[in-house]
A and B are shown apart, each in its own frame.
Chain A
Amino acid sequence: EVQLLESGGGLVQPGGSLRLSCAAAGFTFSSYAMTWVRQVPGKGLEWVSAINSGGGSTYYADSVRGRFTISRDNSKNTLYLQMSSLRAGDTAVYYCARDPKNVLSAFDIWGQGTMVTVSS
C-alpha cells in the first residue's frame, strides 16, 4: 500500500527546534519530488517547502525560509523537515505529500499529519 507516515511532532518552546520525519512506503520514493504543507487547526492549507527527487533542489515559503530546512534520505525512504527558531505562528498540523508530476505541481498522496505546538 502506498503511504506516508509523519512523526516527530510535539510541544516545543518558542525559539526551539524540532525535526519532522516522513516515512514512505509502497512506491519508489527516490523517483518523486516531495513537499511539506501545514494547517493551523480550523484554518486553511499553507505550503511550506518542497524538494526534488534527488534532493538537489529545495524550495521554501517566505514564512519559513532561513529557519526550516527540507532534506531527504532516499536510502531510507524518508523525508525530513528541520525546524528551528520556532514561533507561535508555526503551530500547525504538518503534512508530507508526494508530488508525482513535477516539483510543486500536485500532491497525490498525503500522510495523516503530525501536530507541532510552539508554546511556553
Chain B
Amino acid sequence: QSALTQPPSASGSPGQSVTISCTGTSSDVGAYNYVSWYQQHPGRAPKLMIYEVTKRPSGVPDRFSGSKSGNTASLTVSGLQAEDEADFYCSSYAGGILLFGGGTRLTVL
C-alpha cells in the first residue's frame, strides 16, 4: 500500500497555469478511473475538486481540470488566483483500498 507520488511543491504567478502530477502504478491509477483531487487550506477539511479523473463537482470553477495518462494523473489549475494557494492531494481506488498522494503545496507567487 504505497502512497501515490506527488511533487512536494508547485508554484505559479497569478493568471498562469500550473499542473500537478500524481504517479501511481498499473494497480491503482493505471487500472481505474477513480482518481480524485482534493484542495486543503490550512486548518480546514479537504474539499473535493475533481473526481473520476476529469469530473468537477458543482461549484468548483472550471479553472480546475483533471486528466490521466497511463499510471499518472494530473491536475491543472488555469488562471491562478491567490485563493488557490493550498495543499492538493490526489487519491486513487486500488482494489478494495484507497491510496492518497503525499500532497503538493501550491504557492501563488
Q: Which residues of A contact B (CB under 8 A)?
A: 35, 37, 44-47, 50, 59, 61-63, 95, 101-102, 104-108, 110-113
Contact = CB atoms under 8 A, between A and B. Distances in A.
Contacts of A110: 45-47
A108 B99 contact: no
B1 A61 contact: yes
Given A104-B98, A108-B48, 13 more contacts: A44-B3, A44-B101, A45-B103, A47-B91, A47-B97, A61-B97, A62-B1, A95-B46, A105-B36, A106-B48, A107-B48, A108-B51, A108-B57
B45 A113 contact: yes
Nearest to A46: B100
A45 B89 contact: yes
Most chain B CB inside 10 Å of its own CB: which residue of A35, A50, A105, A111: A105
Contact of B103 (A44, A47, A112, A113): A44
B52 A101 contact: yes
B22 to A, nearest CB: 12
17 contacts: A45-B38, A45-B91, A45-B100, A47-B91, A47-B97, A59-B96, A59-B97, A62-B1, A102-B34, A104-B34, A104-B97, A105-B36, A106-B52, A106-B91, A107-B46, A110-B47, A111-B45
